[in-house]
Chains A and B, each alone.
Chain A
Amino acid sequence: MRSAGVPPAVEAAGLVKRYGERIAVDNLDLTVPAHQVTAVLGPNGAGKTTTIEACEGYRRMDAGRLRVLGLDPVADGRRLRSRIGVMLQEGGVYPGARAGEMLRHVASLYAHPLDVAALGERLGLGSCGRTPYRRLSGGQRQRLALAMAVVGRPELVFLDEPTAGLDPQARQATWELVRELRNDGVTVVLSTHLMDEAEELADRVAILDGGRVIADGSPAELCRGGGADVLRFAGRPGLDLASLRAALPADAEVTEPTPGNYRITGDVGPRLLATVTAWCAQHGVLADRITTRRHTLEDVFLELTGRELRA
């Protein structure tokens, strides 16, 4: 999906937003590449919502330069709004409106909307088209909000915690839709508290903390950047560490923290595991209790922010 020469969907440089004494966004730089899924992660109060709402034209920053699809979200708001889709975390629907009625209404505000019935079916809303909004379940409301965000066939969609409170089946359906959007050339900005969601969907992840972007890259890049992956196994004590290390890739380290317990750090993948077991076979070692622990986005997040994501 990566395409050279396409301008980024969002370019932010030096954004600052103060609410009284409190600095919500502190000299934030962020680039969202076009035609990709970018996940914005951060603990509560990191500046996620303020930044995304600025991109949507809801608030004006105190300083910095912000361009969304090449436009100033406030000054060119009218032109921008027909090109973006927004999913709010909650609400956004007339309390007395029926689900299908609201979706049809939003569709009628766009020049080339998606087929409302097909989209409703796709998101499992087919059966509740005539149900008033206030009687929809939380999951149905989420999916209606998602449908409202994409029905106008936007170039760029902002999804705020799109699967919060969904059952696993509905979550899969939502993830599938996000992948289809990306494959069809839509840029997606996703704010989420769910690590597996970011790992599953995102081409890029931006981690925010204290109003800044503190890490930014593909999930694989971010995981490599942090602490290393670990492979452990048990065998007879006093194996020849120098020989084992020589068989491994250059960046791998091997130690014997306690007699008979071995710990290898490095880029733990199928190849490394195969190398270790091959070496063991050559040396007549029965490797016991082999475990691998890959560094996850959750570990990276914890190391960088010192906080659990799911507060």
Chain B
Amino acid sequence: MTAATGRYSPAPGAAPLPRMILAQTALEARMLLRHGEQLLLTMIIPALLLALFSSVDLIDTGPGERVDFLAPGVLALAVLSTAFTGQAIATGYERRYGVLKRLGVSPLPRWALLVGKTGAVLVTLVFQTLLLVVVALALGWSPRGNPLAVAGLMLLGTAALSGLGLLMAGTLRAEATLAAANLVFVLLLFFGGVIVPLTEYPDGVRSVLELLPVPALADGLREVLREGGWPAASDVAVLAGWSVAGLGLAARFFRWE
């Protein structure tokens, strides 16, 4: 009845899971790194901010070298730009253009798609961190503390901000996500303890800002990299709380179409 040797004869089957996840991660990473606006946001703006505010005395960053204050803040900004802003915008448009719908009928399980996205965010973050560390060192940065504590904090920050980014991408229209994700980036750039110390703001404002993930991440990184200590328990608690809330809500409310 059928030509078993035909070119299109059925030979169905899913690829092995590790191969699928690797392919998905590689594709997602290429999509993130290929985008011009994306590179501006993730690489160029943080590096320029670091270079500008380290070399010119525009803002009072407190005692010590300016770069020692700015480098941890800009690392927190890098996590924000990739895990939150970049991922939210990309995922919002993928949802809008039916990419998530189409991959939903491929053998790739949904969780593996999210693993691929997370992998791509981490790959991008490695590039960002390398670039920012090189720039900071060139500006005379003298980092201290335990590198594993730094990595742990950045991973926790990535979890918190990815959850919030995916929640936004999976519930709002793509244009709304684009606008809101960029707005949050700009607001947290100024009010997130990234280049302006939170001590510059009134106590009431400050105590609210300290509950946000980016100020907590910046403060935690500074505690390690500038003071050579360990992050405050409150910072870790804020990041963990946002991770649970963001990822939980995203899992509950994310719409694939």
Please determine whether A148 and B102 come into contact, CB atoms closer than 8 angstroms: yes
Within 8 Å by CB of B97, from A81, A95, A108, A154, lies A95
Please determine whether B7 and A114 come into contact, CB atoms closer than 8 angstroms: yes
Bitwise interface map of A from 150 to 165 toward B, beta carbon under 8 Å scored 1, else 0: 1011110000000000
Please determine whether A184 and B7 come into contact, CB atoms closer than 8 angstroms: yes
Shortest CB-to-CB span from A141 to chain B, Å, is 11
Given contacts A35-B1, A94-B31, A184-B3, contact A155 B12 (CB under 8 A): yes
Question: Quick check: is A209 within 8 A (CB to CB) of the other chain?
Answer: no
Question: Quick check: is A1 within 8 A (CB to CB) of the other chain?
Answer: yes
Question: Quick check: is A211 within 8 A (CB to CB) of the other chain?
Answer: no
- Interface of chain B, main secondary structure: loop
Closest to A155 in B: B10
Q: Which residues of B contact A184 (CB under 8 A)?
A: 2-3, 6-10
Please determine whether B2 and A56 come into contact, CB atoms closer than 8 angstroms: no
Q: Which residues of B contact A88 (CB under 8 A)?
A: 98, 101-102
Shortest CB-to-CB span from B100 to chain A, Å, is 9
Question: Quick check: is A90 within 8 A (CB to CB) of the other chain?
Answer: yes
Bitwise interface map of A from 23 to 36 toward B, beta carbon under 8 Å scored 1, else 0: 00000000000010
Closest to A6 in B: B1
Please determine whether A92 and B6 come into contact, CB atoms closer than 8 angstroms: no
Q: Which residues of B contact A152 (CB under 8 A)?
A: 12, 106-107
Q: Which residues of B contact A3 (CB under 8 A)?
A: 1-2
Shortest CB-to-CB span from A197 to chain B, Å, is 19
Chain B CB count within 10 A is highest, among A95, A109, A154, for A109
Q: Which residues of B contact A58 (CB under 8 A)?
A: 101, 104-105, 257
Closest to A184 in B: B6
**Number of residues from A at the complex interface, CB < 8 A:** 44
Shortest CB-to-CB span from B240 to chain A, Å, is 32
Alpha-carbon distance A97/B90, docked complex (angstroms): 12
Number of A-B contacts (CB under 8 A): 131
Bitwise interface map of B from 67 to 86 toward A, beta carbon under 8 Å scored 1, else 0: 00000000000000000000
Alpha-carbon distance A185/B6, docked complex (angstroms): 8
Please determine whether B13 and A56 come into contact, CB atoms closer than 8 angstroms: no
Q: Which residues of A contact B233 (CB under 8 A)?
A: none
Bitwise interface map of A from 124 to 158 toward B, beta carbon under 8 Å scored 1, else 0: 00000000000000000000000010101111000
Q: Which residues of B contact A274 (CB under 8 A)?
A: none
**Number of residues from B at the complex interface, CB < 8 A:** 38
Q: Which residues of B contact A280 (CB under 8 A)?
A: none
Question: Quick check: is B245 within 8 A (CB to CB) of the other chain?
Answer: no
Question: Quick check: is A105 within 8 A (CB to CB) of the other chain?
Answer: yes
Shortest CB-to-CB span from A12 to chain B, Å, is 18
Question: Quick check: is B35 within 8 A (CB to CB) of the other chain?
Answer: yes
Question: Quick check: is A238 within 8 A (CB to CB) of the other chain?
Answer: no
Please determine whether B105 and A57 come into contact, CB atoms closer than 8 angstroms: yes
Q: Which residues of A contact B106 (CB under 8 A)?
A: 81, 106, 109, 152
Q: Which residues of B contact A97 (CB under 8 A)?
A: 27, 31
Q: Which residues of B contact A83 (CB under 8 A)?
A: 10, 12
Question: Quick check: is A181 within 8 A (CB to CB) of the other chain?
Answer: yes
Shortest CB-to-CB span from B14 to chain A, Å, is 4
Alpha-carbon distance A200/B175, docked complex (angstroms): 42
Alpha-carbon distance A86/B105, docked complex (angstroms): 7
Q: Which residues of A contact B107 (CB under 8 A)?
A: 78, 81-82, 109-110, 152
Please determine whether B105 and A56 come into contact, CB atoms closer than 8 angstroms: yes
Alpha-carbon distance A112/B8, docked complex (angstroms): 11
Alpha-carbon distance A242/B43, docked complex (angstroms): 91
Q: Which residues of B contact A91 (CB under 8 A)?
A: 97-99, 101-102
Pick out which of these stretches binds chain A: B15-23, B196-204, B214-222, B224-232: B15-23
Shortest CB-to-CB span from A217 to chain B, Å, is 21
Please determine whether B3 and A185 come into contact, CB atoms closer than 8 angstroms: yes
Closest to B20 in A: A109
Given contacts A108-B15, A109-B20, contact A35 B105 (CB under 8 A): no
Closest 4 CB pairs of A and B: A184-B6, A185-B2, A92-B102, A91-B98
A/B interface sample: 24 pairs, CB < 8 A:
A3-B1, A35-B2, A58-B105, A58-B257, A81-B106, A82-B12, A82-B13, A92-B101, A92-B102, A96-B31, A96-B35, A106-B106, A108-B19, A108-B23, A109-B15, A109-B23, A109-B108, A110-B15, A111-B15, A155-B10, A180-B7, A183-B2, A184-B3, A185-B4
Which B residues contact A (CB, under 8 angstroms)? Answer: 1-4, 6-16, 19-20, 23-24, 27, 30-31, 34-35, 93-94, 97-99, 101-102, 104-109, 257
